[in-house]
Amino acid sequence: MRYHKPFNLAQRQQAIATYRSFRATIRLIAFEFPPLNHEQRRLFAEIKEAVRDFGNTLAAKDAKVDVARLNASLGRADEVSLRYVVLRNAGGRRT
């Protein structure tokens, strides 16, 4: 678990930096490594959904942040991003 209770300012700052990094990664993927087929488009949509969920969870006040959900969203975004990179580098064809 990367984040824990009590959720404090230092954790929030780290989480915001992580969120911004994920948003930059999404922009990079969209313009430099766009999805080529249906499976890649599905994974790209999952990445965006996981990052959106991470941001929505982070929007709560410090005492109300659900750290379990925050950690789950972060793990899901990491996992799906890795699957996307593996699939993208496998040389999928356009469909």
CATH number of the domain where residue 15 is located: 1.20.1270
List the domain range (segments joined by +) for residue 17: 9-89
How many domains are contained in the chain?
Answer: 1
Q: pLDDT at position 92, please? A: 55
Q: What is the pLDDT of residue 2?
A: 86
**pLDDT grade, residue 63 (50/70/90)?**
confident
Residue 95 lies in a domain: no
Q: Tell whether 1 is covered by a domain.
A: no
- Read off the pLDDT band of 93 (50, 70, 90): low
- 47 vs 89, which has greater pLDDT? 47
Cα-only R_g, the chain: 15
The confidence score (pLDDT) of residue 95 equals: 52
Mean of pLDDT values over 69-75: 94
In a domain, 27, yes or no: yes
**Residue 17, token pair as written in the block:** 């930096």
Q: Is residue 59 part of a domain?
A: yes
Mean pLDDT computed over 72-82: 94
Residue 26 burial (CB count, 10 A) = 17
Cα→Cα distances 87→31, 50, 71, 72, 73, Å: 17, 18, 24, 22, 21
91: left (phi over 0), alpha (psi -120 to 50) or beta: left
Residue 2 lies in a domain: no
Whether 75 is covered by a domain: the verdict is yes
